[in-house]
Structure 1
Amino acid sequence: MVLAVCGMLYALNGFLIGWADAYEVMLGITSPAGVHPQWCAWPLSLTGWAAIPAIVGAAAGYVITEQINAHHARELSDVLSELSRLAAPPSPPPASGDGS
Structure 2
Amino acid sequence: MSKGAFRNVTVWLALFGLPLTGIWATVMAIASQHLGWGKAYEIMVGISSPVGSPEPGWAWSVSLGGWLFVPALVGGVAGSMIGGRMDRRRSQDTDEIKNEIINGFETMGRP
Structure 2 residue runs without a partner (length 5+): 1-18, 100-111
User: Whose radius of gyration is greater, 1 or 2?
Assistant: 1
How far did 1:21 drift? 0.8
1:31 to 25, 49, 72: 49
CA distance in 2, matches of 1:74, 1:21: 49
Determine if contact 1:25/1:32 at 8 Å carries over to the other structure. Answer: yes
Whichever structure has more helix as a proportion of its residues is: 2
What count of residue pairs does the alignment treat as equivalent?
A: 80
Report the CA distance shift for 1:31/1:77 in structure 2 as closer, same or farther (over 3 A): closer
TM-score (norm 1): 0.63
Structure 1 residue runs without a partner (length 5+): 83-100
Q: RMSD of the TM alignment (CA)?
A: 2.6
Give the SS at the match of 2:47.
coil
